[in-house]
Chains A and B, each alone.
Chain A
Amino acid sequence: MAVAETGAPVGGAPDSRASLLSKLVGAQTPFQTKRALWGYVYAAPWVLGLIIFWGGPIVASFYFGFTEYAVIGSPKFTGLSNYIRAFSGDELFWPSLGRTFTFAGMYIPFAVGGALILAVLLNQKLMGTTVFRTLFFVPHLIPAVALAVLWTFLLAPRVGPVNEFLRGIGISDPPGWLASRDSALASVTMINVWAAMGGNTMLIFLAGLQGVPQELYDAASIDGGGAWAKFRHVTLPMLTPTIFFNVVLAVIGALKVFTTAWVATQGGPSYATWFFALHIYFQAFQYFRLGYGSALAWVLAAILIFFTWVQVRYSRRWVHYEGG
């Protein structure tokens, strides 16, 4: 990129103009004005990106939500009909929303709780910790599509190794996993938990654990506290900010669950894993109901914003900030 140092946007502009410009950019001296203008130049790509890929689309999608639109042609304003249809006329709307919440309700405790347990185990300063940490992390690196494909084979009802193992330990009638309506949702949850437990969530917990001062553990020891007491009364309270951060991220991730369900089951069998994000995808990009899809996307956005707000609002009741 050939930005010449000498090419200052305002070299020796007349005083009156310079002062107006200075006010505009929030500067006082010509030097500050020049610097501010360079600041705008370097921020320009992102400002452009924000307008094209965020601001514009947010406004457009909000508008599309009140229209009927099929890419070809132009959007036809239909008022609230998309939202009315979603809440009262779409028989997949409430079930897919409920299913997404069921998924989140199972996924979040296992993924976040599991990650915490893994982090506590790895924080024992055992030999080979780096190797274990890497091994726990690898599932998180598998591309979501490959993840879904390999678990489809692992959980194959007849020839899959998981059911073979279950038959081996005496369960004569193991579940059908992804292939069965009753167990598909639990199976998709399990796959996602498996991939998430040792991932970023665990690394963030590990960093949080390293920030717990040793004196507190020593003090607990002097008071005769055992391992559980230390965990319950030192580790957990000190980790609440980290737990909070991870739970917020897990909620956002869980409500957007898409790829594993789409690849492993296509939302089936008989809609058992038809999550809300899948519903949006199908409406918008399979049936090209862009207006209705936009309305659904805003419902999802509203739910996400609501949950994030609730968590931030009520975090003060249980999150403990040291010195804060």
Chain B
Amino acid sequence: MTQDTLLQSGPVSPQRAMHLLNRGVTYLIILVLCVLFGFPLFWTVMSSLKTIPEMFSFPPILVPSIPQWTNYWTVLNIDYPVGQWFVNSVMIVILTTLGTLITASLVAYSLARFEYRGRDVLFMITLSTMMLPAQVTLIPQFVLFYRLGWINTHLPLWVPHWLGGGAFAIFLMRQFFLTLPRDLDEAALIDGAGYFRIFWSILMPLCKPVLATLAIITIIASWSDFLGPLIYLNTPEKFTVSVGLQFFNAVPEVGGEPMQHLLMAACVMSMVPIILMFFFGQRFFVQGIVMSGIKG
């Protein structure tokens, strides 16, 4: 690495030496940071492969003597419905994401391409909802869903996303629609295409990158959501991964038998899908954050 070349290179000009020293120091700082950010994750994965005595040994052991890969199978077969939590979360994430993508792009299409009275007011109101803390609307929403008999169902967690998908999604899609040339729409209109056809067959295919961005952001937010499921779900069979983990964490044993190693395995399982998705969709994700940050 840079430190090595610094030591090996013979006589160098002072500027060059200074430059190499700078690089070396930078790398050193970054390596320390890598340990700081990486070690907790490494330790969690190692813990998920331990036996219970290894989990609580003093002094702590870092790497288990024999990795207990079966922990990942065992955790799915304990008295807590861990597998069901994952099924529930996946279902909710899929429904939430579909609703957000479809309805947010329709609304954004309306805001970006149509002219009508009240459009700009609607857009301003949309932006201002981002300012208000969720706590303000949470209690009346709870009352609403209670009256509808939706408590302890998954409906409150995904149905609202089918009504526009929220201010951020609409904003992101609108900004993207504005970058697409209007000539496309007009040419299609002259050729006799209707507005929905223009939206669906001409604009949406061009929106694939921003749709990917929005999908990733929505999936991550929905998968990690805690407050919603905590408020609306009561029975373990209905829990999502987040609330389930919290429930497991509060009582990490069944019949007096400690299961902290399995809790760690469940933790790792809750992180892996999101991290994998980030690896594959990193380009889209970074673009989306940057877009919202720069133009916002």
Complex partner residue of B133 from A56, A164, A256, CB under 8 angstroms: A256
**Cα separation A145 to B30 with both chains bound (whole Å):** 27
Do A27 and B195 touch across chains, with their CB atoms under 8 A apart? no
Do B223 and A143 touch across chains, with their CB atoms under 8 A apart? yes
Chain A residues whose CB sits within 8 angstroms of the CB of B264 once the complex forms: 150, 153
**Cα separation A290 to B136 with both chains bound (whole Å):** 11
Selected A-B contacts with CB under 8 Å, 16 pairs:
A39-B116, A40-B110, A49-B160, A64-B140, A143-B224, A143-B274, A145-B245, A145-B270, A146-B242, A146-B245, A149-B245, A159-B57, A203-B290, A204-B293, A208-B293, A280-B135
Do A61 and B114 touch across chains, with their CB atoms under 8 A apart? no
Question: Which residues from 118 to 148 on chain A have a C-beta closer than 8 Å to any C-beta of chain B?
Answer: 118, 121, 124, 126, 132, 134-139, 141-146, 148
**Cα separation A198 to B37 with both chains bound (whole Å):** 9
Complex partner residue of A132 from B30, B106, B195, B223, CB under 8 angstroms: B30
Q: Other than the known A60-B143, A126-B23, A262-B230, what 13 A-B pairs have Cβ atoms closer than 8 Å?
A: A38-B110, A40-B110, A42-B114, A47-B122, A50-B164, A53-B141, A53-B163, A57-B141, A145-B246, A149-B263, A164-B59, A285-B231, A308-B131
State the main secondary structure of chain A at its contact with B.
Answer: helix
Query: Per-position contact with B for A2-42: 1 when CB-CB < 8 Å, else 0?
Result: 01111000000000000000001111000010011111111
Query: Which of B38-46, B65-73, B76-84, B206-214 lies at the interface with chain A?
Result: B38-46
Tell yes or no: A89 within 8 A of B by CB: no
Tell me the count of chain A residues lying within 8 A, CB to CB, of chain B: 100
Tell yes or no: A284 within 8 A of B by CB: yes
Determine the residue in chain B with the shortest Cβ distance to A309. B131
**Cα separation A253 to B140 with both chains bound (whole Å):** 22
Do A60 and B140 touch across chains, with their CB atoms under 8 A apart? yes
Chain B residues whose CB sits within 8 angstroms of the CB of A37 once the complex forms: 116
* Residue from A54, A164, A246, A298 with most neighbouring chain B CB atoms (10 Å): A54
Question: Closest CB of chain B to A130's CB: distance in Å?
Answer: 8
Complex partner residue of B117 from A36, A142, A158, A159, CB under 8 angstroms: A36
**Cα separation A71 to B23 with both chains bound (whole Å):** 62
Known: A45-B103, A161-B43. A52 touches B290 (CB 8 A): no
**Cα separation A45 to B64 with both chains bound (whole Å):** 54
Question: Which residues from 119 to 171 on chain B have a C-beta closer than 8 Å to any C-beta of chain A?
Answer: 119, 122, 125-126, 129, 131-144, 146, 160, 162-164, 170
Known: A45-B163, A135-B38. A158 touches B58 (CB 8 A): yes
Question: Closest CB of chain B to A197's CB: distance in Å?
Answer: 8
Known: A40-B116, A301-B132, A301-B135. A49 touches B37 (CB 8 A): no
* Residue from B33, B62, B134, B199 with most neighbouring chain A CB atoms (10 Å): B33
Tell yes or no: A314 within 8 A of B by CB: no
Question: Closest CB of chain A to B55's CB: distance in Å?
Answer: 8
